Structure 1
Amino acid sequence: MTVLDLPVALDDRPLPRRVGLVALATDHTTEVDFAVLPPRGIGVYATRIPFANPVTPDRLAAMAGDVTRAAALILPDEPLDAVVYSCTSASVVIGDEAVRDAIRAGKPGTRAITPISAGFAALRALGADRITLLTPYTPQTTRPMADCFEAGGFALQGVSCLNLTDDRDMARMSHATITDAARAALVPGSQALFLSCTAVRAAGIAGRIEDAVGVPVVTSNLATLWAAMRACGDGGAALSGQLMRLP
């Protein structure tokens, strides 16, 4: 074996920007959707948080104590531009500000992003305050979501759900099913459709859904991608949909 006596030059970072991702143990979708970021010079560094189906308020709330620990595991002692907690319904059940506080406790000084905080910001950027809400959840899990949107100042024109209890099944829904559900759910007078759940494979087909329903579509992962990109100073379009074309 030869030990090369050469100077080793070190770059400051392997990629200029970096985003931490806290995904559920059962998540099939978020890391795939966030794969659009590394080619743009934004590294995605993921960890997993314990979660056990079914998707119920009690099971979602059980994640609260693990958020800080999960965030702290992402590149310890190194700064991140943002950390995304990738569960929409848990952000509602635990409390959106509580989740973001827990992220910041694990990674002080970072931009903490949830699907709810990003979704609200995205809808406001689109000028939409009258919306239709569509979830894959049961009515029991959807109701707190609807209450959260109303408390956030949005007028819900309609609320629909698909009554699924397992986020792995939510991730297996076909693009055709998602589009058909959006078309069936949209209520006239809505300025946008919010499609909840980071497990649902909707971010990559937002433009197709918009063609079907005729209004802007914001999905959980599309919103967090949009927010994470802006936290990294990237204002370009990574996926289809009107949100990604905003200046």
Structure 2
Amino acid sequence: MNLSYELTTERQMQLGLVVLQSDETLEYDMRRLLPEDVELLVSRVASGTELSTDMIAAMEGRLTDAANLLPRDAVISAVGYGCTSASAQIGSARVAELIKRGFPRRMSRTRPPRLLPHAARLGLAGLVWSAPISPASRTGSAP
């Protein structure tokens, strides 16, 4: 059987996302929210099922390694971290520093952000992604 193919150097806009090992919903939610022409590349950071200051402190030491697992040749426009509680405890600047250490490749700046037109169409002035933490996600058990 012969399968035809065509190689191309054009890529869709790529976004990176570091997600908690225990998170089962963020990837699905992000793929539903992002336009179809945006590619989401995901890595996982080792985490426990209980959210605590100790677990968050442990994740801080693992963020760089998690970001380093993103594809090396990707032209990622931005890398996000999918834990608002950890970002609040560790600090956004520190999270950005740790992710950049793991993904030091230059971020793409050649293509205009494709999310903003979608936000404007919805009447939004800007974008912020935040996910609530349910009691089930803190304890690892369902209600």
TM-score normalised per structure 1: 0.43
Matched, 1:9 2:10: no
Q: Contact (CA 8 Å) 1:53, 1:59: kept in 2 or not? A: no
* Larger RCO: 1 or 2 (CA < 8 Å, sep 6+): 2
State the SS of the aligned residue for 2:118: coil
Q: Contact (CA 8 Å) 1:81, 1:231: kept in 2 or not? A: no
Matched, 1:66 2:62: yes
**Same amino acid, percent of matched pairs:** 32
- Structure 1 Cα separation of the partners of residues 102 and 49 of structure 2: 25
Q: Which residue of 2 aligns with 1:55?
A: 51
- Mapping 1:211-230, distance limit 5 Å: none
Richer in helix (by share):
1
- Structure 2 Cα separation of the partners of residues 17 and 103 of structure 1: 19
**Residue deviations 1:33-80 (CA, integer Å, cap 9, x gap):** 2113251x1100111111113211111111012111111211123221
* Alignment gaps of 5+ in structure 2: 127-143
- How far apart are residue 231 of structure 1 and its match? 7.1
- Structure 2 Cα separation of the partners of residues 21 and 28 of structure 1: 14
- How far apart are residue 19 of structure 1 and its match? 0.5
Larger C-alpha radius of gyration, 1 or 2? 1
Matched, 1:246 2:125: yes
Matched, 1:99 2:95: yes
Q: Which residue of 1 aligns with 2:141?
A: none
Q: Contact (CA 8 Å) 2:14, 2:41: kept in 1 or not? A: yes
Q: Which residue of 2 aligns with 1:215?
A: none
Q: Aligned AA for 2:21? A: A
* Alignment gaps of 5+ in structure 1: 112-229
State the SS of the aligned residue for 2:27: helix
Match of 1:237 among 109, 118, 138: 118
CA RMSD of aligned residues (A): 2.8
Structure 1's consecutive aligned runs of 4 or more residues displaced over 6 angstroms after TM superposition are none
**Residue deviations 1:135-155 (CA, integer Å, cap 9, x gap):** xxxxxxxxxxxxxxxxxxxxx
Matched, 1:83 2:79: yes
Q: Which residue of 1 aligns with 2:29?
A: 33
- CA distance 1:237–1:3, change in 2 (3 Å): closer
**Residue deviations 1:94-146 (CA, integer Å, cap 9, x gap):** 222111011111222238xxxxxxxxxxxxxxxxxxxxxxxxxxxxxxxxxxx
Q: Which residue of 2 aligns with 1:200?
A: none
- Structure 2 Cα separation of the partners of residues 231 and 102 of structure 1: 25
**Residue deviations 1:162-197 (CA, integer Å, cap 9, x gap):** xxxxxxxxxxxxxxxxxxxxxxxxxxxxxxxxxxxx
Q: Aligned AA for 1:110? A: M
- CA distance 1:61–1:231, change in 2 (3 Å): farther
- Structure 2 Cα separation of the partners of residues 70 and 50 of structure 1: 8
